[in-house]
Amino acid sequence: MSVGTARYPYEAPVTAYGGGGFRFADMSHRGSILCLPTGIYAWTATSAETLSEADFALVVANLGRPATLLLGTGAEQVWPSAMLTRFFANAGIGIEPMSTGAAARTYNILLAEKRRVGAALIAVP
């Protein structure tokens, strides 16, 4: 299972990242997170190179279509595998890979604009 049980039940901007975690809604979380319309979830992903379809089951179930998923791949931008690109295309979800910092900042802007967006953010040191 790639999603932890920790969950904040609302959408919220990411106010800080780094040091192995994130801040949002006046709380902090150590590790990676999924930011979805249904809340913010702990996510066990640690490397963009090892991501699989199973890591995104909650995204597909909760993001809705049409939508965009910002994929924060860590300190550097890493392109998803062809398998993941097809997976998201078949699910009707656009995927935008970028560094985690860029993904968090872009998520905050799109969230403020009330766009249908999610973010899968791998924690950076």
Tell me, what's the pLDDT at 4? 53
Q: What is the pLDDT of residues 73-108, one digit of tens each?
A: 999 999 999 999 999 999 999 999 999 999 999 999
Cis bond upstream, residue 66 (ω within 30): yes
Distance CA 110, CA 3 (A): 23
Q: Rounded to two decimals, what is the model's pTM?
A: 0.94
pLDDT (mean) for 11-39:
96
Distance CA 57, CA 74 (A): 20
Total count of residues recorded for the chain = 125
Distance CA 6, CA 34 (A): 11
**How far does CA 37 lie from the centroid of its chain?**
11
Distance CA 34, CA 37 (A): 10
Which domains are present in the chain? 3-121 (3.40.1230.10)
Distance CA 119, CA 85 (A): 16
Q: What is the pLDDT of residues 6-24, one digit of tens each?
A: 689 999 999 999 999 999 9
